[in-house]
Structure 1
Amino acid sequence: MKSLNYYFLIFLLPLLAFTTIHKYYVSITEVQYVKEKQSVQIITRIFIDDLETLMRQRYEESIILGGENESDKVDYYLEKYLKSKIQIQINGKETVLKFIGKEYDNDIAICYIEIPKVSTISEFEISNNVLNDVFEEQQNVVRLEISGKKKSFILTGRNDKGLLKLD
């Protein structure tokens, strides 16, 4: 009987272990105001597999990110998508995001965005809906560093805005 229980546990435990695995959907966006350059610099880190899933659902089913088989259209699609999902208001006014480019680090896509010609910031509002349209559980961590003040937000599909007032 003991050996039967032993074999039962050997087969049952791995099955139970794999049923509790849960994938986390998260991106990290860092926003820094560089006063000397009058520029808001934004770096967004997104898992490549999640981004690839998005691009295949939204743009092209056969698209591949990274490597020598990467489509020439990836930067175009990425810029279009990020500009539609990240909105920033500075001092109550909408801004225009300038997509600088991207690079890959292991399984992460690092995207660079800038808002040039920003002389002062008294109020900074960000809305980040990156991947919320694909993954319901998506969380977007936003870290702000503006004029010596730091603030972090965890933004979701239901709570997608963060505000930092500097006055």
Structure 2
Amino acid sequence: MIMYLWLMVSTLLHSYYVSITQIEYNQYTQSVEISCKIFTDDLEAALEKATGEKMHLGTDRENPDASQYVRQYLKDRLQFELNGKPVQYNFVGKEISADATWCYLEISGVRELKSLKVTSQLLTDVFETQSNIVHITTGKNKKSLLLSKVKASDTVTF
């Protein structure tokens, strides 16, 4: 019984670090739409480590440069290759809910999606056990990746 209680308490105290990135190919607009869900406190820790400044995301005290810092952090830590070629994405914006920050990105001018390489180093510079889950949808095809500090990149083909 004591061992069971100890196991439960240690499980509850153990923090987990995860982000979720949803990628969807929209054939009608010929674009790849990307949404990243990151826990706000974890994102703030990464941004503060990178910039040395407090962010206060989603509050009336939010750093006036927060969006620019988020954009740069994503550019440095999240990359894509479409059909074997590196591509740039546009930072559409961010939205902050109760405990998570959603970041919206878009890659335009994509006529077809045959393969996608994702490199996600989100928060791995701050948390050793960070997991970055990536869900990719193109038409009826759905695939998922689990990326981490040890395995930051993977490729899917359609």
| Structure 1 residue runs of 4 or more that deviate by more than 6 Å after TM superposition | none
Q: Percent identity?
A: 35
Q: 1:135, CA displacement in angstroms?
A: 0.5
Q: Match of 1:36, SS?
A: coil
1:101 aligned onto 2:112 = no
User: 5+ residue gaps in structure 1?
Assistant: 1-8
Q: Match of 1:159, SS?
A: coil
1:141 aligned onto 2:141 = no
Q: 1:162, CA displacement in angstroms?
A: 2.1
Q: Is the 8 A contact 2:44 2:54 kept in 1?
A: no
Q: Indicate which of 114, 127, 139 corresponds to 1:122.
A: 114
CA distance in 2 between counterparts of 1:132 and 1:32 reads 24
Amino acid at match of 2:122: V
Return the TM-score normalized by structure 1: 0.86
Q: 1:51, CA displacement in angstroms?
A: 0.6
1:44 aligned onto 2:36 = yes
Q: Indicate which of 70, 73, 79 corresponds to 1:81.
A: 73
Q: Is the 8 A contact 2:131 2:146 kept in 1?
A: yes
Q: Which residue of 1 aligns with 2:9?
A: 17
Q: Match of 1:130, SS?
A: coil
Amino acid at match of 2:13: I
Q: 1:18, CA displacement in angstroms?
A: 6.4
Distance 1:121 1:17, change over 3 A: closer
Q: 1:19, CA displacement in angstroms?
A: 8.5
Q: Which residue of 1 aligns with 2:157?
A: 165
Q: Which residue of 2 aligns with 1:30?
A: 22
Deviations 1:108-156 (A, max 9, x none): 0000000011111111111111000110000000000023211011100
Amino acid at match of 1:157: K
Q: Match of 1:76, SS?
A: helix
Q: Is the 8 A contact 2:57 2:96 kept in 1?
A: no
Bigger-Rg structure (1/2): 1
Return the TM-score normalized by structure 2: 0.91
User: 5+ residue gaps in structure 2?
Assistant: none
